[in-house]
Amino acid sequence: MKQTIGVIIVLTLFSCKREQKNSQGENFSDNVNKVASTIIDDSEQLKFFNKPKQPIQVKFEQFPTGSVQPKGWILNMMKSDLQQGIVGALGELYPGIKSDDLYNTARRGGMEDIPEMGDLVLTGAAWEKSIMWWNAETIGNWWDGFIRHAFLTNDAKAIQKSHDVIKNLLASQDDDGYIGIYKPNLRYQHEGSNGELWAQTTAFRTMLAYYEFTQDKSVLDAVEKAMQLTIKNYGEVGENPFYLKNAFGGVTHGLMLTDVCETLFRITKNEAYQDYATYLYKAFSTYSINRSFNDLRYPYLKEKDSLFEGHGVHTYEHIRTMVNAYYNTGYPELEIAYHNMLDKLEPCILPSGAGHGNEWILKMKAHPTHTSSEYCTMLELRNSYGSLIQKTGDISFADEAEKLTYNAMLGFRNREGTALTYGKADNCYVLDGHHHENGESKADPRYKYSPTHSEPAVCCVPNYTRNFPYFLEQMWMKSEGGIASVMFGPSKLTTQIEGAEVSIEQITNYPMSDDVTFKFTMKDPKTFSFQIRQPKWSNGLESNIALGDLKDGFYTISKEWKNGDEITIIFNNETKQHKALNDEVYLQRGPIVYAFEIPHKVETIKTYSKVNYSDYYCFPTNEDFKDLKLDSDSKFELKSASNSDSFYDSEWNLEGSLFNASKNKSQNVTLVPLGKTVLRRVTFPKQ
């Protein structure tokens, strides 16, 4: 009786709100529901999965979580974000995180269990069943980022909160091993939209990070027990988790349980986890239900010349799953899919390094003014780049990961770390709650600064908390016979070589610097190889020691290393012009993309009980940026000042001139790193 009454109440609520304007905006509502009228079975195209596997040897292996610590400006930004910014404050700013104990006492058994969803407006649309699981994404991703920040910055108060989060998750585990958000009447028996695997993904990623920080084996045991239950119910001998009458974002986000499989394989070396990850990709590729969320299905990747069209976050995160299946099997069919994926990805990339998609890619090519990115899409693409460099060793992916992290991702954050934008274009002329394209303006709440973004979804802010913790894990990797410095930035690796502790620190202000010093610390001398990446954007590098030959984008130094050894490298970078897909030109030096910063004023539209936090719009105070062009003979010189432990206070600008068409003359300008800007122009037509 209770469940029936609850459903009536919820349906009545939906009916009352049916005439209300959806808080998601027109872009979301017009594209979310592309459910097929019948389920398409593509199993005939997947028979190659029955052939014997021939796994491909990966190039690198990731170090355990916690092996790489932040230093310099990255450490300072992470501390600030945790102690004075949105990483630490989100639990107070969005009360649903604390009030919705959805993994334990508030599990979902039906629509009557929908929680209070802040500013989200419900209209009765079919996709709104998804909000049963929605907080699992918000809460789980915030836990993941918060706990990593706590341990990486050694914040005692935050570490204690982390213990409490994990204690509650452990207490939620049922006798059969279940950890998740559903009551027994729903778990593993869904007919349509659900968040079963997605909720487990966000929780298990959190728990495994905590395990590697603390070595508390009870946490690892709990995750493994829960995974065995999932593999039994949603595996080769159970149900296909993607065979459903309809599916929205939560179902296909659930494919990212493969992240958990990869981590468990790295920790335990149990190949059953990689086999399950491959099964999930095969299962995902078998049935086509909702075209909005499945660009990376194998049957679609067979089509080389088609463009991506789905939800950007799903498209970019699913890259990891597909590539992992390819390397785990070695199937030629997946090799073709891999190369087709790269061909499809290329036209999605903006000058800032971001893949466009806010929310949808829609077969559009990246346009610096008209196609925006979402913070979640950037995080997932960057993490996929990290997976690609780990498996392939291709330095292009490391170049792209640095470019995306140091430009687009920082360019969404405000200077204080108290808000970020949900969506933003590279050429961002105004942030006023509207999407602007070809003279038209459509309401979209994603275009503003906010510490929560509670109208569309509290997803981008939780994912922001995962940015640097995951980037740090990608910066250093195990190579055959040693260690590889894959990406650059102030950080310190601590690992074991032949049972002895070895630390290597990158002392640098990179990317606001051309030099990096590697300092080695160890008790006794150790012999191993050390690899240093040569970025493609640099015209070589200088060093205080002989680096040897460059092979596959890396210099390798094999020697006996002693305590106190140092290597200093200096990149030979020059300012280069690159053509964007709108036929305009942008400037890049090293990993930094430069922008003309547009002066702006702020309009506050919402305040929070916590001081210094607000939602606000940004408007330009003049329109000089509209008529700027790049002279064919323009030259820009780097102007730098002393290094600083603040990204924003480090001066690393370009000085030169742009032609002002309305005034018919050149004017001197200073271009600043894109990551420091609020409103900006990045691309310019060429005179």
Q: Give the contacts of 452 (CB within 8 A, at least 6 positions apart).
A: 90, 93, 94, 118, 458, 461, 615
pLDDT score of 572: 97
Q: What angle do CA 321, 322, 327 make, to 5 degrees?
A: 100
The H or E element spanning position 672 is strand 665-673
pLDDT score of 131: 79
Closest among 215, 288, 207 to 251, alpha carbons compared: 288
Taking 90 as the threshold, does the pLDDT of residue 383 lie above it? Answer: yes
Radius of gyration in angstroms for the set of CA atoms belonging to the chain, rounded to a whole number? 25
Taking 60 as the threshold, does the pLDDT of residue 19 lie above it? Answer: no
Poorest-pLDDT segment among 33-42, 84-93, 123-132, 362-371: 123-132
Residue corresponding to tokens 């009360």: 95
Q: What's the CA gap between 435 and 445, in Å, rounded? A: 9
Compute the half-sphere exposure of residue 633: CA atoms within 13 Å on the CB side of its CA: 1
Instruction: Give the N- to C-terminal CA distance of the chain in Å, as an integer.
Output: 73
The H or E element spanning position 528 is strand 526-533
Residue 647 near residue 73, CB atoms below 8 Å: yes
Residue 355 near residue 312, CB atoms below 8 Å: yes
pLDDT score of 288: 85
pLDDT score of 303: 87
Structure tokens, 293: 């969320």
* Pairwise pLDDT comparison (23 vs 348), residue with the higher score: 348
Buried residues in 298-308 as b, exposed as e (16+ CB within 10 A): bbbbeeeeeeb
In three state form, how does the secondary structure of 558-604 look? EEEECCCCEEEEEECCCEEEEECCCCCEEEEECCEEEEEEECEEEEE
pLDDT score of 10: 34
Closest among 324, 308, 307, 304 to 316, alpha carbons compared: 308
Average pLDDT of the residues in 517-531: 97
Residue corresponding to tokens 């509670």: 454
Taking 70 as the threshold, does the pLDDT of residue 29 lie above it? Answer: no
Structure tokens, 176: 């059969």
* Pairwise pLDDT comparison (290 vs 493), residue with the higher score: 493
Taking 80 as the threshold, does the pLDDT of residue 122 lie above it? Answer: no
Q: What's the CA gap between 445 and 431, in Å, rounded? A: 10
pLDDT score of 142: 98
| Residue 665, beta-bridge partner list | 660
Residue corresponding to tokens 């009228």: 37
- The predicted-structure confidence for 151-170, as pLDDT tens digits, reads as follows 999 999 999 999 999 999 99
Residue 145 near residue 91, CB atoms below 8 Å: no
The H or E element spanning position 337 is helix 332-345
- pTM of the model as a whole: 0.95
Residue 305 near residue 290, CB atoms below 8 Å: no
Q: Give the contacts of 602 (CB within 8 A, at least 6 positions apart).
A: 616, 617, 618
Structure tokens, 567: 């290597």
pLDDT score of 78: 98
pLDDT score of 9: 29
The H or E element spanning position 526 is strand 526-533
Poorest-pLDDT segment among 116-130, 239-253, 583-597: 116-130
- The predicted-structure confidence for 176-224, as pLDDT tens digits, reads as follows 999 999 999 999 999 888 999 999 999 999 999 999 999 999 999 999 9
Q: What's the CA gap between 187 and 109, in Å, rounded? A: 9
pLDDT score of 115: 78
Count of C-beta atoms within a 10 Å radius of residue 324: 23
Share of residues in the chain with pLDDT > 70 (%)? 93
Q: What's the CA gap between 687 and 676, in Å, rounded? A: 27
The rounded mean pLDDT for the chain is: 92
Share of residues in the chain with pLDDT > 90 (%)? 83
pLDDT score of 25: 67
The H or E element spanning position 403 is helix 395-403
Q: Name the pLDDT band for 51 (thresholds 50, 70, 90).
A: very high
pLDDT score of 684: 97
pLDDT score of 17: 39
In three state form, how does the secondary structure of 284-297 look? HHHEEEEHHHCCCC
- For 411, the 3-state DSSP assignment is helix
Structure tokens, 148: 């990593």
Average pLDDT of the residues in 138-150: 98
- For 37, the 3-state DSSP assignment is strand
pLDDT score of 635: 86
pLDDT score of 438: 81
Average pLDDT of the residues in 534-561: 95
- How is domain 2-427 classified at the CATH fold level? Glycosyltransferase (1.50.10)
Q: Give the contacts of 611 (CB within 8 A, at least 6 positions apart).
A: none
Structure tokens, 106: 């508030």
Buried residues in 536-548 as b, exposed as e (16+ CB within 10 A): ebbeebeeeeebe
Q: Name the pLDDT band for 291 (thresholds 50, 70, 90).
A: confident
pLDDT score of 124: 66
Residue 509 near residue 73, CB atoms below 8 Å: yes
- Which residue ranges does the chain devote to CATH 1.50.10? 2-427
Average pLDDT of the residues in 653-681: 95
Residue corresponding to tokens 């695997």: 197
Give the DSSP letter string of 98-164: HH--TTTTT-BSSGGGPPP-TTPPP---GGGGGHHHHHHHHHHHHHHHHHHHHHHTT-HHHHHHHHH
Give the DSSP letter string of 39-74: EEE-GGGGGGGGSPP-PPPPS-EEPPTTSEEE-HHH
Structure tokens, 460: 């981008």
Average pLDDT of the residues in 108-137: 78
Taking 60 as the threshold, does the pLDDT of residue 22 lie above it? Answer: yes
Poorest-pLDDT segment among 115-119, 410-414, 573-577: 115-119
Q: What's the CA gap between 195 and 656, in Å, rounded? A: 52
Average pLDDT of the residues in 325-332: 98
Taking 50 as the threshold, does the pLDDT of residue 5 lie above it? Answer: no
